[in-house]
Structure 1
Amino acid sequence: MESRTSQGTSRRLAGKATVVVCVVGAGERMELERLHSERLAKLRAREEESSDKIKRQQREVESIAFEHRQRILREEERLRTWRAEASSQLQGREGAGVFLGSVEQGRRAINQEQLKHLERALELRERAVAAREAGAERRIAEAAEAVANAQLSARSGVEKEYLELKASLNAQRMQLEVGVMAGSLRLLPLPGQSSALQAM
């Protein structure tokens, strides 16, 4: 008695045992290889997309950092100019002429107080600029670390998915190869069934 199934041929030998032979066609193998290729292409596309996104983010961070550095440089230049002008005004006033007695001393005291005040203000501004610059450098370092972590995470995720897919496809391929090998072998009688085969 012989019955056909979609995955192979089954023979019943004298009511005692059933042997199943898997026959895999070339079409099924090509279909599995096509599916494998499609999945790999999707994985590669996803990896490239993640890489492009990370590169875009890195360029944005670098652009922001560059603009911030330029702003800090402009602020430092403005502070230097302001300090030089204040100093030259004070020296010009002192060297411009001879002041009389207490009026002169009063003006000098006022000018020195103004100069001290301007120097304190300048020092505070320089500290603020230095603090902003340190903050910007810290944010740049954090952004660079985030970009590196995102790249590593995306890469490991894609690699994990690829390895899982590869293992699955290898298992399917092995099943197909075992099925093809079993299909090419002749059916051998099971022990104690040789007389049943001879009767057929």
Structure 2
Amino acid sequence: MPMEVSTKDCSSIGDAELADIADFAIARGTGFDLGFLSKQRDEWVLCTEVRRDGQVVGFALYTLERIGGTPCILIGIGATQEGPDERMLLNEILAEQYRKALLAFPDEDVLVGVRVPSYLGYHVFDGLEDIVPRLDHKPSGEERAWARRLAKKFGVESKLDDRTSVVSSGGEVTGLFAYGDLNLGPQGDLAPLFAGVDRSKFDSLVVFGWAMAEQLADGSLPPEDF
């Protein structure tokens, strides 16, 4: 079935629409109930939704802003429906964000920041440069500072270990982008990065990377070779 993708200001999300998102998010295992989403609606600027046959199958709340002069896409929370076309759902959301970033920040490299629960979340960063954290790389002082800046924007600064980028939520739902199996734990090639992430306590990893200006301009993000 064809998908419908729409983007609007978070302030224009009605209660019924928010309830639809909450139903999807809870079924997805995120812990994002209606009360949590009501608060997040006030925290973020834009909402991209993907629907199939009228049903929510993906969403993201995010903002485009400058942090210390650096243009950023900050993805506060979101989720995509598990299944064979989940990557397509993710790319629909990312494509909207990149198009808006190109309009807001023409001819500039843009930092993309998000919290992910497992290595599958790194698909958000396909095609991006200088991703942190990454294997066999010790974050510089400036990169650790970026992790702290992002954690502050996400409202989890006190829960962040900037040496590992792990957000220890202690069982509190604090937000992330849900892609793939949320209960994988430290598996796959990126397992060392998630060694300190306890999904039973809603932990996550703060990750960021750079969308290059030329990639945004030529529309090559997100990459379609999947």
TM category, shorter: under 0.3
The structure with the larger Rg is: 1
Q: Normalising by structure 2, what TM-score?
A: 0.15
More relative contact order, 1 or 2 (CA 8 Å, 6+ apart): 1
Q: Normalising by structure 1, what TM-score?
A: 0.16
Higher share in helix: 1
